[in-house]
A and B are shown apart, each in its own frame.
Chain A
Amino acid sequence: MKKTLFLLLAVWVVGFGLAQDKLKACWIYVGPIGDYGWSHAHDVGRKEAMKALPWLETAYVESVPEAQVEPTIDKLVSEGCKVIFATSFGYMDGVLNAAKKYPEVLFGHATGYKRAPNVMTYLAEFNEVYYLNGLIAGALTKSGKVGYVAAFPIPEVKRHISAFALGVREVNPRATINVRWINAWFDPAKATEATNALMAQGNDVFAFTEDTPAVIQAAAKRNLPAFGHYSPMQKFSPKTVPSGQLVRWEKIYIDFLSKVRNGTYTNRNLDKVDYWWLLKEGAVELGGEFGVPINPAFVPALKAKRVTDKLTGKQTTVYDLVMARYEAMKAGKFSPFTGPIRDRNGILRVPAGQVYPIYSDKPGANQASMEWAAPGIVGQWPNEPKN
């Protein structure tokens, strides 16, 4: 009897010790994890982090409206979350308030720019991948009109469209990039009709910022190419998705959580922590499917199209150009925002020989807060700077 009791006690103590040994991280998603876009990608990141870090325990709450983030954090903290990732821009102020209330909890805020001793910010940034897809789009368009279905006119989306346009124009200097705003992150019906409007106006290659494969599906009905976004979308139309943007949030999550675990990051030093991770860090990838940078169905067309590499001055094919730039960016040796770059109104934005800074003291004069449009972009552009 005594023995059994002792054994039970031992098991309990050891079990308790093991539980104590775990780190509990919790995620807050703005959409349903099945959106197959943004929230889905974060949830894949969470699961991959669980696989990679045996000491990690996780929980998540999905479809949390932006105004509801504080009560959600209250609940998660009461359930023992030591690290909380808030994965929507609109959670920003709620996270900062909650961070003051719970100084011992560590917070990560995706896409935000406000930090605190226990709040870091992070982003898997796509501009390089958009630029590569732009190169491909410029080679594929026959009409010289490339369509872009865009979510909201905020700096992040504008930066991506501009990077895409820079790529299109590098291969096809006379092409236009026609933008239609749907003013929604998730709205497959709007994305579908916007794509149809663009098709009626002669656009024949498509890229987008929206959380579903709706643009791909609408374009596929006329057999027109469209790039995937966020998740592997090539399977939705295997013959019409040349490539796309893919994310690996787990790279950031694993790095951050490991450094929390080993004591590098604490609740006193996160105000200096900002992840702006690109191809070099492996946080993003080129492809409509992981491991397939360019859909084999489009490789012959891209190998047949010849261009001059503006960096080397040598003749090459678009396929080789994309691959060369891809490798250069993976090595951290190239940025799409390398000057000279003028915006569509002719104003010099990036002087020759310089790379546009990610951050700077002057608002609007860096990648993080840029509002201008690259040459070739046609369509409304709210808050376009006049000088």
Chain B
Amino acid sequence: MEEVWAALLRSVIFGTPILIAALGNLLNERAGVVNLGVEGMMAVGALAAFATAQTTGSGGLGVLAGVLAGGLFTLPHAFVAISLRANQFVSGLALAMLGLGLAGLLGKRFEGQPLLAPLPEMPFVYLGFGLAVALWAFLYLTHAGLVLRSVGENPAAADLLGIPVYRVRYWAVAAGGMFAGLAGAFLAVSYRSSWTEGMTNQLGWIAIALTIFVAWEPLRAVLGAYFFGLLYYLGFALQDSAIPSVFLQALPYALVIVVLALVAWRRRQGAAPEALGLPYERGRR
């Protein structure tokens, strides 16, 4: 019984950084902007959070710094992708690499330093869940949410209605960065409590895959992230069985691919926002 409880607990805890990052990514994709830079924003958020917590001694300030850093760091991508209408995929990839490199470089002096009072993990779990519900309510129950979705589906029509497409997209991208920064902050000051270069370890990419996996729905993202967390945990918990460990550990990733394929099979069009990844320029179609 204790093992079942532990499995559930670990799946929500490990699912939380993926959930938070995926919610952010979902938000900017709903506004029509692809941002493959999640991994880099998480790294920057993690470093900012750790550095702040370490120097001020306050984990809470660290989290705040992580959120702000994630939001600010994503602005170059917003500028290039929205204002300059460059290729969003390339710009996002550049952001991912830049973030990892920059955090690695600036973080050198924080390597090997312990944070002796890490924040507890459960508040982040509640926060992640709360953010998912709030995001769902925002998207479907508020006028602002409708505006955001319409910018992602048909920016030209939104523009005709007087909606400031660029401004909405900028805010969505910045918010996505803040979510990613929060996810990184959780890793650095709570889940782990130290900084190491590369500590985000591909979680940002999983968050991007999860966004598609859950068809851009915040509440499904909760289930998807916890499910991934569960499979990840079982990769270690089930090692006393006869199933080879390599197979168990590949399972979560393999399942992501299988589900992606199923989603694509069932709905040719997919549930993606119509204008996803397409730069908007007034008067051009």
| Nearest CB of chain B from residue A89's CB, rounded to whole Å | 18
Let me know if A189 and B104 touch, CB within 8 A.
Answer: no
> What residue in chain A is nearest B4 (Cβ atoms)?
A200
Let me know if A201 and B244 touch, CB within 8 A.
Answer: no
Let me know if A201 and B191 touch, CB within 8 A.
Answer: no
Specify which chain A residues have a CB less than 8 angstroms from the CB of B193 in the assembled complex.
217
Let me know if A200 and B197 touch, CB within 8 A.
Answer: no
Distance between Cα atoms of A382 and B244 in the complex (Å): 9
Distance between Cα atoms of A35 and B5 in the complex (Å): 33
Let me know if A201 and B3 touch, CB within 8 A.
Answer: yes
Give how many A-B residue pairs fall within 8 Å (CB-CB). 103
Specify which chain B residues have a CB less than 8 angstroms from the CB of A237 in the assembled complex.
114, 116
Let me know if B112 and A183 touch, CB within 8 A.
Answer: no
Digitize A359-382: 1 where CB-to-B-CB distance is under 8 Å, 0 elsewhere: 000000000000000000011101
Specify which chain A residues have a CB less than 8 angstroms from the CB of B7 in the assembled complex.
200
Q: A194 touches which one: B2, B199, B236 (CB < 8 A)?
A: B236
B58 at the interface (CB under 8 A from A): no
Range of interface residues on B (Cβ < 8 Å): 35 or more
Let me know if A200 and B237 touch, CB within 8 A.
Answer: yes
Distance between Cα atoms of A35 and B114 in the complex (Å): 13
Digitize A98-120: 1 where CB-to-B-CB distance is under 8 Å, 0 elsewhere: 00000000000000000000000
Q: B246 touches which one: A183, A188, A189, A201 (CB < 8 A)?
A: A183
Specify which chain A residues have a CB less than 8 angstroms from the CB of B245 in the assembled complex.
180-181, 183, 380
Let me know if B201 and A180 touch, CB within 8 A.
Answer: no
Q: B14 touches which one: A35, A189, A198, A379 (CB < 8 A)?
A: A189
Let me know if B198 and A32 touch, CB within 8 A.
Answer: yes
Distance between Cα atoms of A197 and B4 in the complex (Å): 10
Query: A residues bordering B, Cβ < 8 Å?
Result: 32, 34-36, 40, 178-183, 186-190, 192-194, 196-201, 212-214, 217, 221, 231, 235-238, 378-380, 382
Can you offer 19 A-B residue contacts whose CB atoms are under 8 A?
A36-B111, A180-B236, A181-B239, A181-B245, A189-B203, A190-B235, A192-B192, A196-B233, A197-B233, A197-B237, A199-B6, A200-B3, A200-B10, A201-B3, A201-B240, A217-B118, A237-B116, A379-B239, A380-B244
